Amino acid sequence: MASLPYRVFQSKIDKLIKRIPALGKLLSFIFGIQEWTMLEFFRFLDKKLNLDTMAIANRYILRGRWGGRVVPLNKNITPDSRFLPSQEILEILSRSKVTAIGKCYCRDKQRKLGDAKCDHSLNTCIHIGMGKSLYEIPYKSENLKKVSKQEVRELLEECDERGLIHQLIYYPNPQFYYVVCNCCPCCCLVMNKFLKSGSPQMIKSDFIAKTNLKKCTDCGECEPWCYFGARKIIDGKFSFEPARCFGCGTCVSKCPNNAIILKQKG
């Protein structure tokens, strides 16, 4: 079947930035600089025209090139898993040029509007000085700036305890990111819109949550922490839908019986 012209064009873009990562990093950096303005513009149009502007932009303009890539924290991954540095959030950040921990646009906006439904910290966004490429992660040396490794580690562990989802916010494709966010479904624009309409695009991690049914007591403690609807209690019994699991690892630490582990797919 013949490919549509825009798909051919998109494929050529991906091949080009894979061959020249510096171009992808530059595009990611430029997009990151104007992201705040773009989100404010989307909110303005949504309010004035009663539209889901983000879904429209993602369908006709961005075409899935902007969104979030879920990456778990290493403590939630089963010890026998061998994973790449590009598959775990602390390792990714230790090999990125972190410039600062900043205020979360989404959470801050929700509080200013009086629509906030959580008490999570505002300062949970980890800013990368220049757009980064996951293609390069296994080869880069550690190089943190302004923010110490310990501060980053403590922030991520606190966010993990609170059940926040670690996401690489990417552009122009999931291999290039410009900020690392710790997201809740009530405030995060990317996550909230994805759960409601599938736009913008969210990419699953390379892991899946496995449950030891011998340890599971069907208590249901994990269900409210699975924002993607993979874990449910139906008629008093635990039920799991693998296709819905994003491998974020949030459920792992919430299980009182240590019945859940995060295992690499495949």
pLDDT, tens digit (0-9, with 9 covering 90-100), for 42-95: 989 988 988 888 888 888 888 889 999 999 999 999 988 889 999 999 999 998
The verdict on whether omega for the bond into residue 79 sits within 30 degrees of 0, i.e. cis, is no
Q: Where are the domains of the chain?
A: 5-203, 210-264
Do residues 72 and 86 lie in contact, with contact meaning Cβ atoms separated by under 8 Å? no
Let me know: does 220 contact 260? Beta carbons within 8 Å.
Answer: no
The stretch 228-255 carries a mean pLDDT of 96
Q: 207-222: string of b/e by CB count within 10 Å (b at 16+)?
A: bbbbbeeeebeeeebb
% residues pLDDT > 70 (the chain): 94
Six token digits for residue 85: 């540095």
At 6 the pLDDT is: 46
Q: Output the pLDDT for position 62.
A: 85
CA distance 77 to 46: 39
- Whole-number average pLDDT of the chain: 90
Range 215-221 average pLDDT? 97
Q: Which of 20, 260, 9, 256 is nearest to 136 (CA)?
A: 20
Question: Which residue type, as a one-letter code, is found at position 110?
Answer: Q
Residue 139 has pLDDT above 80, yes or no: no
> H-helix or E-strand containing 29?
helix 21-49
Structure tokens at 93: 């950040």
Residue 143 has pLDDT above 70, yes or no: no
Q: Where residue 4 falls among pLDDT bands split at 50, 70, 90?
A: very low
Provide, rounded to the nearest whole percent, the portion of the chain with pLDDT above 90: 72
In the prediction, which pLDDT does 61 show? Answer: 85
Identify which of 129, 130, 124 has the alpha carbon closest to the alpha carbon of residue 154. 124
- In CATH, what class is 210-264? alpha beta
* 3-state class (DSSP) for residue 165: strand
Q: What is the pLDDT of residue 212?
A: 96
Helices (H), 60-117: 89-94, 105-112
Cβ contact 14:171 at 8 Å: no
Q: What is the reported pLDDT for 136?
A: 87
d(CA 142, CA 135): 16
In tens, the pLDDT along 108-120 reads: 999 998 888 899 9
**pLDDT at residue 147 in the model:** 81
- Answer yes or no: is pLDDT of 265 > 80: yes
What is the pTM for the complete model shown?
0.90
Which tokens hold the place of 221?
A: 């403690």
pLDDT at residue 3 in the model: 44
Nearest CA among 69, 265, 52, 84 for reference residue 183: 69
